[in-house]
Amino acid sequence: MLDLIDITKVYRGGHRAVDGISLGLRPGVLGLLGPNGAGKSTLMRIAATAARPTSGRVLLDGADASARPRALRRTLGYLPQDFGFYPNLTAREFLSYLAAAKGVGARAARVRIGELLDLVGLGAAADRRLGGYSGGMLRRVGIAQALVNDPRVIILDEPTAGLDPEERARLHALLSDLAAERAVVLSTHIVPDVEDIAAEVAVVAAGRLVLRGRPADLVAGAAGQVWEALVDPVALPSVGARFPVVRSVRDGELVRVRLVAPERPLSDAVPLQAGLEDVYRAAVSGSASASGPAPAAAHRAPSPGAPR
């Protein structure tokens, strides 16, 4: 449905925010993982035609969406990381305004908006002004506005920011249902946001796509490469310089670390079951292709248009 082909974005001063990323988006949830500053938001803005790439193309069903963005925008639901709103409008008024801007008929919009407000748990607050909403409530309004035109392509940038565990669970269930017939991209730096619902995961670091694959395959590739050890706090920096440290917790006078290494990294290290967080940390650290789990070369994105 939507193909990003060799997308590059270079800002004034030479900063390369996105560097030659290609992704083919099809029905299902794609979890786009990466640390803050990795280039995820820039890539999502380009995919949503909110920004133009320096080079590369965005194709919707084979047509150039960068040159003619209206076709994509009619079928797109987009929640940017920085979501703007009108504080003097109620949630119902705000969604009605956006529905009209997206070409949704007034009668259909009334029904759709009522359903969406209930779906995101805001039915009882639908006629309160947005200026009195909490951060989590505003994020839920943002999710609702992304769905108001019943889009085929849904792009959500850090959608769980400010949501409590119950709201996150509700969002995950909603996206799982929507993804049966739609392409859904969930961009985040929080691994648990995608590990249970994503059909595929793509990891971006320093503007480049460093890893992509099905979560189960990526975790299987990390088998036997995740360890736990007790480390003297003085030695912790040197351990972190040699191996990707996933987690460290004080344990008495020592520090209990979870780390990734192809072989036993320390004499007292014990093996642990691998998880997606381990794969992600190793990939972001830059060591995955050399010595960590699931080398990027073994899980490259398919060529645009190829089946996933």
Burial annotation 43-75 (CB, 10 A radius, 16+ → b, else e): bbbbbbbebebeebbbbbeeeebbeebeebbeb
Say if residues 39 and 54 touch (Cβ distance below 8 Å). Answer: no
Spatial distance between the Cα atoms of 66 and 49, rounded to a whole number of angstroms: 6
Predicted pLDDT of residue 290: 38
Joined tokens for residue 56: 């590369």
Query: Judging by DSSP bridges, how do beta strands 153-157 and 2-10 pair with one another?
Result: unpaired
- Check pLDDT > 80 for residue 241: yes
CA distances from 156 to 29, 31, 139, 187, 291 (A): 11, 10, 11, 6, 32
DSSP 8-state secondary structure symbol assigned to residue 46: H
- Check pLDDT > 50 for residue 299: no
Spatial distance between the Cα atoms of 303 and 31, rounded to a whole number of angstroms: 18
Predicted model pTM: 0.86
Predicted pLDDT of residue 285: 87
Q: Tens of pLDDT along 20-71?
A: 999 999 999 999 999 999 999 999 999 999 999 999 999 999 999 988 888 8
Q: Tens of pLDDT along 81-90?
A: 888 899 999 9
Q: Tens of pLDDT along 267-283?
A: 999 999 999 999 999 99
Domain ranges of the chain: 81-150, 218-299
Q: Say which residues have a Cβ less than 8 Å from residue 133's Cβ, sequence separation at least 6.
A: 91, 125, 141
Joined tokens for residue 91: 């949630």
Say if residues 244 and 262 touch (Cβ distance below 8 Å). Answer: no
Q: Terminus-to-terminus CA distance in the chain, angstroms?
A: 12
Q: Tens of pLDDT along 102-124?
A: 889 999 999 999 999 999 999 99
- Check pLDDT > 90 for residue 162: no
Kindly indicate the confidence band of residue 286, based on its pLDDT and cuts at 50, 70 and 90: low
